Amino acid sequence: MQYIPNVIFALLLIVGFGFFTLNVKKLIRNIKLGKDVDRSDHTSERWMNMIRIALGQSKMVRRPISGVLHVIVYIGFIIINIELLEIIVDGLFGTHRVFQGFLGDAFYGFLIGTFEVLAVLVLVAVLIFWTRRNVANIKRFLSPEMKGWPENDGNNILYFEVVLMTLFLTMNATDTPFQEAGIGNVFSHYLVPLFDSFAAETVHIIERTAWWLHIAGILIFLNYLYYSKHLHILLAFPNTFFANLNAKGRFTNLASVTKEVKLMMDPNADPYAMPENGEEEEPEKFGASDVTDLNWVQLMNAYTCTECGRCTSSCPANLTGKKLSPRKIMMDTRDRLEEVGRNMDANKGSYVDDGKQLLNDYITPEELWACTSCNACVEECPVNIDPLSIIMDMRRYLVMEQSAAPQELNMMMTNVENNGAMWQYNQMDRLNWANED
Amino acid sequence: MIVKTMADYFAEGKQPEILFWVGSAGSFDDRAKKITKAFVKILNQADVEFAVLGTEESSTGDAAKRSGNEFIFQMQALMNIELLNGYEVKKIVTCDPHSFNTLKNEYPELGGNYEVVHHTQFIYELINEGRLSVDDSVLKSKRLTFHDPCYLGRANDVYESPRQLIRKLGVNFNEMKRHKRTALCCGAGGAQMFKEPEKGNMDINILRTKEALETNPQIIATGCPYCNTMMTDGIKFHEKEDQVVVKDIAELIAEANKL
């Protein structure tokens, strides 16, 4: 009978991590629905980017207020989770504060003391974050795409943080032997008087309850990630690692187009020639109309996006009231990808056409055509997400598969094709400027 | 104005130091042609042997590519590359950040490998090599702000060379609140130049010129013919055309040197 708590704890861990693993597998499967793109080059530069941008938060602090607050929550999150190790060992083996014996009072006290200070700082930061989101009228949190679930999701995460930090501090405050030892209780000893009126047994029950709820809360939070924008705490690392390293102005050249254009320009090419292997190849679709036409890095981008809206708040189209919001492009991509994933789950792992796609059902041409390709969104993203590449791939589909460019652009393109300039000027007049005053 | 073409040099069996890629705007747009001519005067003052492609030049395909038409872009690119490689071009200078970006970043994969520099970079090179000096008395103490072209700045991380040149002019230089990495687009990029903007509450160039006017400038400098058009239109919208001029950095250098 005395092992029942240990068994319950083990089961809790297995269920918590097991369910999370299942969802991670789905996540990876969904990301792999994207087209292949080679990002295996320049590994040292990639590691440096990951260390600087994800681990070192270098792009976060470009906006100092939210940046510094975020660093506090981030450090708090990582450091306080060291405590998780002790909780797992204690839970599985029925020990209590097992590391205290290992590490010695001084070092253990230093660690727990640090955790407590961080927990308080996190609480303060989270309170400010909540105020920014709900009271301060910050424009990027009020965009149309933030209504409903995205808004609640953002607040849920903050409530989670508050509950977890409060449980951690309560657990320490009601741990009578820990308080009596007087090591590391830098903040929690202020809370002890709150429990003075309770019987010793009640205080112990509160301590146990807080301890169990704390670990349960962490496991619930872990499993909440998959359904939340908060996945960035994991995906920021691969996302910065695999991000584009080329100059931001360099757009991809479609290899399938190169093949056809070279054939067109080759005077010796036989336009009626059959493919060499005799089989008719299915012509590749140009551009993207659905998530499966995007590459896996773009899909990972969508899962990584934490909807902070720095992209949208710097987008010239959005700033001047156009419908385009780079954040919405990423959110739509993820929503559609998850829809495709659920479709596959319901149909034994294969996708059954649902008559929907990313284009039109989620992202409208009006949004796509408002983009100036200025790269402000790409520059702003704290984790190197590239909304512009998705916009461009979808424009390519509109133009090359559907001939659905705005009329003025069609005229411009015809001019380029016919006379080598965007306007209707004769190529033979290109040097006239040299003879004009 | 005597401007030799690559064909002229080829006939003489010689190679110029650089190819000046004029670009479609620089060839045809009345405002941009002034930038082209200013740059040629600077090249002449510094005794740079340069050539243009003249009637053989054709659009880089940038606007078509950013509209989503990869076919037209690649046709343009492959034709241009055939021409450039035929002339064994090594170094290209252009006043258009869009041509600069496309030639520099998107042509190599298609077989066009050249050293490509923006005219602000090239002029700065000339000064550093002692081939050109800038008179800082003509524009002395004029209030100036600089608008970063997206395809020079964020797209290619070229922020310093235009600013180095501005410092040579002796002007009173004030940055806009959004500058360099955070600079706001003028609204022309991504082929927006060639279409009506989508519905909104303001045009992008109006917002950007508003930001420029907040620095109380006499001159708004830029380094792109399209930014130039957008900013000029914006100044007219704000009815400030009597007090503020929009100039390319090449024009300012030419003006400073009384060319």
* Per-residue confidence in pLDDT tens, chain B, 259 aa: 889 999 999 999 999 999 999 999 999 999 999 999 999 999 999 999 999 999 999 999 999 999 999 999 999 999 999 999 999 999 999 999 999 999 999 999 999 999 999 999 999 999 999 999 999 999 999 999 999 999 999 999 999 999 999 999 999 999 999 999 999 999 999 999 999 999 999 999 999 999 999 999 999 999 999 999 999 999 999 999 999 999 999 999 999 999 9
CB contact under 8 A, A409 and B203: no
Q: Does B200 touch chain A (CB under 8 A)?
A: yes
Residues of B in contact with A412 (CB under 8 A): 63-64, 67, 191, 194-195
CA–CA distance, A160 with A173 (Å, rounded to integer): 20
A237 sits in the region (left: phi over 0; alpha: psi -120 to 50; else beta) called alpha
Residues of B in contact with A374 (CB under 8 A): 150, 154, 185, 189-190
* Residue B3 to chain A, least CA–CA distance (Å): 7
Terminal CA-to-CA distance of chain B, rounded, Å?
A: 12
* Residues B162 and B216 both lie in one domain: yes
* Residues B64 and B145 both lie in one domain: no
Q: Which two tokens stand for residue A172?
A: 């320490």
Residues of B in contact with A266 (CB under 8 A): none
Please name the member of A251, A317, A428 whose beta carbon is closest to the beta carbon of B65: A251
Q: What is the pLDDT of residues B31-51, one digit of tens each?
A: 999 999 999 999 999 999 999
Residues of A in contact with B208 (CB under 8 A): 316
Q: Which two tokens stand for residue B218?
A: 């006499």
pLDDT score of A277: 61
* Residues B166 and B206 both lie in one domain: yes
HSE, side-chain direction, 13 A CA sphere, residue A311: 27
pLDDT score of A276: 61
Residues of A in contact with B203 (CB under 8 A): 320
Please name the member of A262, A373, A422 whose beta carbon is closest to the beta carbon of B78: A262
* Residues B119 and B192 both lie in one domain: no
Size of interface A-B (CB pairs under 8 A): 223
Q: Which CATH number fits domain A255-272+283-425: 3.40.1130, 3.40.1710, 1.10.1060, 2.40.128?
A: 1.10.1060
Please name the member of B54, B155, B184 whose beta carbon is closest to the beta carbon of A248: B155
Query: Domain end: B127, B161, B194, which one?
Result: B127
pLDDT score of A273: 67
pLDDT score of A265: 84
* Residues B173 and B248 both lie in one domain: yes
* Residues B181 and B202 both lie in one domain: yes
Interface mutation target, options A245, A251, A293, A407, chain B, most CBs of B under 10 Å: A251
Domain contains B224: yes
CA–CA distance, A233 with A54 (Å, rounded to integer): 9
Please name the member of A246, A287, A431 whose beta carbon is closest to the beta carbon of B68: A287
pLDDT score of B246: 98
* Residues B118 and B160 both lie in one domain: no
Q: Does B64 touch chain A (CB under 8 A)?
A: yes
* Residues B228 and B249 both lie in one domain: yes
CATH of the domain at B139: 3.40.50.2300
Among candidates B63, B181, B203, which has minimal Cα distance to A370?
B203
* Residues B68 and B106 both lie in one domain: yes
Number of domains in chain B: 2
Domain contains B173: yes
CA–CA distance, B242 with A42 (Å, rounded to integer): 52
Residues of B in contact with A323 (CB under 8 A): 198-199
State the complex-level ipTM.
0.96
* Residues B176 and B193 both lie in one domain: yes
CB contact under 8 A, A316 and B207: yes
* Residues B36 and B76 both lie in one domain: yes
CB contact under 8 A, B63 and A436: no
Residue tagged 């796609």 (tokens): A357
* Residues B35 and B115 both lie in one domain: yes
Query: Domain end: B127, B154, B173, which one?
Result: B127
Q: Which two tokens stand for residue A345?
A: 């789950």
pLDDT score of A81: 82
CA–CA distance, B61 with A124 (Å, rounded to integer): 53
**β B115-118/B50-51 pair status:** unpaired
- Order of strands, edge to edge, in the sheet holding B172-173? B172-173, B143-146, B219-222, B245-248
pLDDT score of A79: 87
Please name the member of B77, B78, B207 whose beta carbon is closest to the beta carbon of A320: B207
Can you give the pLDDT of all 437 residues of chain A as single tens digits? 688 889 999 999 999 999 999 999 999 999 999 999 999 999 999 999 999 999 999 999 999 999 999 999 999 988 888 888 999 999 999 899 999 888 889 999 999 999 999 999 999 999 999 999 999 999 999 999 999 999 999 999 999 999 999 999 999 999 999 999 888 899 999 999 999 899 999 999 999 999 999 999 999 999 999 999 999 999 999 999 999 999 999 999 999 899 889 888 887 877 676 666 655 566 789 999 999 999 999 999 999 999 999 999 999 999 999 999 999 999 999 999 999 999 999 999 999 999 999 999 999 999 999 999 999 999 999 999 999 999 999 999 999 999 999 999 999 999 999 999 999 999 999 999 999 87
Residues of B in contact with A371 (CB under 8 A): 190
Terminal CA-to-CA distance of chain A, rounded, Å?
A: 100
Residue A223 in contact with residue A23, Cβ under 8 Å? yes
DSSP string for A229-297: GGGHHHHHHHHHHSS--S-TT-PPPPHHHHHHHHHHH-TT--TTPPPTTSSPPPPPPPS-SSGGGSBHH
- For residue A75, with 0-12 CB atoms within 10 Å meaning exposed, 13-18 middle and 19 or more buried, which class applies? middle
Query: Domain end: B112, B127, B142, which one?
Result: B127
Domain contains B77: yes
pLDDT score of A284: 80
CA–CA distance, A56 with A308 (Å, rounded to integer): 18
CB contact under 8 A, B200 and A321: yes
Q: Which amino acid is located at B171 in the chain?
A: V
Residues of B in contact with A248 (CB under 8 A): 154-156
Domain contains B1: no
Query: Considering only alpha carbons, which residue of chain A is nearest residue B24?
Result: A421
CB contact under 8 A, B65 and A427: no
CA–CA distance, A181 with B253 (Å, rounded to integer): 75
Interface mutation target, options B59, B79, B116, B180, chain A, most CBs of A under 10 Å: B59
CB contact under 8 A, B24 and A398: no
Q: What is the pLDDT of residues B217-226, one digit of tens each?
A: 999 999 999 9
**Domain of B90, in residue numbers:** 6-127
Please name the member of A314, A416, A434 whose beta carbon is closest to the beta carbon of B72: A416
The phi, psi pair for B93, rounded to 5°, reads: -120, 140
Helix (H) or strand (E) holding B128: helix B119-128
CB contact under 8 A, B182 and A314: yes
